[in-house]
């Protein structure tokens, strides 16, 4: 099969330059074997437009920095094979996050703020004792926590989410996943009221409108919709507990 001629339409704008206006710029490249979007962007910058800004660090779907909109869908540039795309490829920065320039957005500030809002750390029951034995947990619990800790903070789930586009304060699937991760951790002793206050709001679980795009576009295949459902059930049970309609001992905490 002859190598394809690829036509890229790339968003360009520097919001810090008063002379800059948002525009789409066209570039043309010949496809090469096993080309990824990372390769294509690097060639455009090296051969055609040295000022083009985009983020790439690890090239291995680990750092989460290279997420962009590819023909309208959030994807990691380093993991996207050009052979899976048509000849005409439109590249835009992720929506929702603050634009740095061209295809580069600041996901870091949003993830830091989200981490503070959900208290993304172990709320220990006891003061730290450096002489205490290491805390033990079952293999199943450790595996569950490991699974939920695989988020690379790329922002694809938030960029794909209709609710997040309408509500900039929404915690998004990544925020909700973080809460589920600490609820699964037996070392965490945060009070239920604190969980309820964060989750049972329009910025929390009630902001989700159930489109499930978060899970469709998560490049790490994280179980986002099942954890959103878990938090919704958990919130309902906490609300019942608050109104004393359910005894604490009757409330199941599992994901099933």
Q: Please tell me whether residue 78 binds ligand FES under the rule CB under 6 A.
A: yes
* E strand segments, the chain: 5-12, 23-30, 67-70, 73-76, 88-92, 98-101, 104-106
What residue 218 binds from ligand FES, ligand SF4, none (CB within 5 to 8 A, per partner kind)? ligand SF4
Candidates 171, 155, 163; CA nearest to 211 is: 163
Q: Please tell me whether residue 58 binds ligand FES under the rule CB under 6 A.
A: yes
Q: How far apart are CA 113 and CA 159, in angstroms?
A: 16
Candidates 179, 180, 173; CA nearest to 158 is: 173
How big is the chain by its Cα radius of gyration, in Å?
22
Three-class SS state of 13:
coil
Tokens 């925020």 sit at which residue?
Answer: 175
Q: How far apart are CA 169 and CA 147, in angstroms?
A: 26
Is residue 90 within 8 A of residue 71, CB to CB? The reply is yes
Q: Please tell me whether residue 175 binds ligand SF4 under the rule CB under 6 A.
A: no
Q: Which of 9, 11, 56, 187 binds ligand FES (CB under 6 A)?
A: 56
Q: Please tell me whether residue 62 binds ligand FES under the rule CB under 6 A.
A: yes
Query: How near is the Cβ of 40 to ligand FES at its closest, in Å?
Result: 13
What residue 35 binds from ligand SF4, ligand FES, none (CB within 5 to 8 A, per partner kind)? none
Is residue 179 within 8 A of residue 235, CB to CB? The reply is no
Q: Please tell me whether residue 171 binds ligand SF4 under the rule CB under 6 A.
A: no
What residue 151 binds from ligand SF4, ligand FES, none (CB within 5 to 8 A, per partner kind)? ligand SF4
Query: How near is the Cβ of 77 to ligand FES at its closest, in Å?
Result: 6
Instruction: Build a one-symbol-per-residue string for 132-151: x at contacts with ligand SF4 by CB under 6 A, - elsewhere.
Output: -------------------x
Q: Please tell me whether residue 63 binds ligand FES under the rule CB under 6 A.
A: yes
Q: Please tell me whether residue 150 binds ligand FES under the rule CB under 6 A.
A: no
What residue 62 binds from ligand FES, ligand SF4, none (CB within 5 to 8 A, per partner kind)? ligand FES
Residues of the shown chain interacting with ligand FES in the complex, contacts defined by CB under 6 A: 56-59, 61-66, 76, 78
């Amino acid at each position: 099969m002859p190598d394809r001629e690829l036509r890229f339409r790339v968003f360009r704008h520097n919001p810090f330059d008063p002379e800059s206006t948002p525009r789409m710029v066209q570039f043309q490249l010949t496809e090469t074997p096993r080309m990824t979007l990372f390769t294509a962007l690097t060639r455009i910058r090296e051969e055609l437009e040295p000022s083009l800004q985009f983020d790439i660090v690890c090239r291995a779907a680990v750092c989460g920095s290279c997420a962009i909109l590819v023909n309208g869908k959030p994807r990691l540039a380093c993991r996207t094979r050009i052979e899976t795309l048509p000849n005409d490829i439109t590249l835009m920065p992720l929506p929702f996050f603050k634009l740095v320039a061209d295809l580069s957005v600041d996901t870091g500030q949003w993830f830091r703020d989200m981490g503070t809002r959900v208290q993304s750390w172990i709320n220990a029951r006891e003061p730290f004792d450096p002489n205490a034995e290491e805390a033990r947990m079952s293999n199943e619990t450790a595996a569950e926590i490991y699974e939920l800790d695989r988020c690379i903070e790329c922002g694809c789930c938030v960029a794909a989410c209709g609710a997040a586009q309408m509500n900039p304060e929404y915690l998004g699937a990544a925020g909700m996943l973080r809460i589920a991760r600490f609820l699964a951790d037996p070392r965490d002793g945060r009070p239920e009221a604190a969980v309820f206050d964060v989750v049972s709001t329009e910025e929390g679980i009630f902001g989700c409108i159930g489109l499930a795009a978060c899970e469709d576009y998560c490049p790490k295949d994280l179980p986002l919709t099942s954890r959103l459902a878990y938090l919704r059930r958990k919130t309902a049970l906490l609300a019942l507990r608050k109104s004393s309609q359910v005894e604490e001992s009757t409330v199941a905490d599992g994901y099933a």
